[in-house]
Amino acid sequence: MRNSSRTGSSQNHMSRVEPQHSEKGEIFVLGLWGVRYQVEDVVRSVAFDTERVGFKLDQQNLPAFAQVSVGHLKLILSGPGTSGSRPMPDGRKQEPEGGTG
């Protein structure tokens, strides 16, 4: 289980993925630039990801934002008050596990 300070809401962020088609016409993804992950405490999440999971800290603007990476995967950690924590277009609040209230 991941750090309890995370809300669990994740979204693709700034993905640079171009859909590709197989010979059968099926769509598949070749790559992903990064994933935005909503967290309740960016400082605590950075500590967990770098000290326990092995991510590298790329940049931070605490307490609102940080980016960590492993290999080619970038994980953008967005805390309360960032654009990623805004209500959904219909006004519902984002909740853990990608759900809405």
**How confident is the model over 52-72, as pLDDT tens digits?**
999 999 999 999 999 999 988
Per-residue tokens: 92: 């519902």
- Tokens 């609040």 belong to 93
Pick the CATH number of 6-88 from 3.90.1300.10, 3.40.50.12780, 3.10.180.10, 3.20.20.70: 3.10.180.10
Q: Indicate the pLDDT class of residue 4, thresholds 50, 70 and 90.
A: very low
* CA-only gyration radius of the chain, Å: 15
- DSSP β-ladder status, 6-12 and 34-39: antiparallel
Q: Please determine, for residue 3, whether its predicted confidence score (pLDDT) is greater than 70.
A: no
Predicted TM-score of the model (pTM): 0.62
Instruction: For the chain, give every domain's residue range.
Output: 6-88
Q: What is the pLDDT of residues 11-39, one digit of tens each?
A: 444 445 566 677 887 776 667 778 888 88
Q: Give Cα separations from 78 to 12, 25, 28, 38, 99 (angstroms).
A: 12, 36, 28, 5, 16
